[in-house]
Amino acid sequence: MFNLILFGPPGSGKGTQSEKLIAKYGFKHLSTGDLLRSEIANKTSLGLEAKNFMDSGQLVPDEVVIGMISSALDSNADAKGFLFDGFPRTDAQAEALDKLLKIKKTNIGIMLALEVSEEELLTRLLKRGETSGRSDDTNEKVIRARIAEYHRKTSAVAEYYKKSTAVELIKGEGTIESIFNALCKAIDKRL
């Protein structure tokens, strides 16, 4: 089983590249947002617990999110690997994920971080905001704050993984195909 983390700030193309990587390698996509919505929709005990936190305006605790990831790993035991999309976001989450994966007798094979200039991200997100209906993609000040928050948290996670896992910085500007090829090259070196 080969597991990877795909990181990138909002607008870096994670969604597009995730789809292409999943199609090529057969990875199972693990997005914590998707997991939360699924667990809540299915009214699982973890989903109901998460909903209680969300309904009261609180962040879902790491233990609950890790529990959902554990369930997803168990229910997809035959997967070729997992693509973690934007998770873990903190050192504590990275440590918890590593402990969980060790119990499951696997690990993170590589962390790929898409690097895109702030001005390019701003252009992409404002353009996406014109068609997506996402209010957080229409305000330049909000976008810049999201990008700053990403850099504050993610740099620590990248440092954490540099101790034990390959971390590759991938230029996230250019054609979709050239970025995809760079991601594949980094993965193929580790498979």
Q: What is the pLDDT of residues 45-102, one digit of tens each?
A: 999 998 888 888 887 899 999 999 999 999 999 999 999 987 898 889 999 999 999 9
Catalytic residue among 127, 134, 189, 190: 134
Q: Is the pLDDT at 153 greater than 90, yes or no?
A: no
**Above 90 in pLDDT, residue 34?**
no
Model confidence at 30, pLDDT cuts 50, 70, 90, reads very high
Q: pTM for the whole thing? A: 0.88
Task: Determine the Cα–Cα distance for residues 59 and 41; give it in Å rounded to an integer.
Answer: 18
Residue 156's pLDDT is 84
pLDDT, mean over the chain: 92
CA-nearest of 106, 99, 86, 107 to 158 is 86
End-to-end CA distance of the chain: 9
Q: Is 134 a catalytic residue?
A: yes
In angstroms, rounded to a whole number, what is the distance separating the alpha carbons of residues 118 and 7?
15
Closest CA to 75 of 109, 35, 115, 110: 35
Q: How many CB atoms lie within 10 A of CB 140?
A: 11
190 is catalytic: no
Contact predicate 4/183, CB 8 Å: no
Collapsing DSSP to helix, strand or coil, 142 comes out as helix
Instruction: Report the pLDDT value the prediction gives residue 23, as an integer from 0 to 100.
Output: 97
Query: Is 14 among the catalytic positions?
Result: yes
Catalytic residue among 20, 128, 144, 153: 128
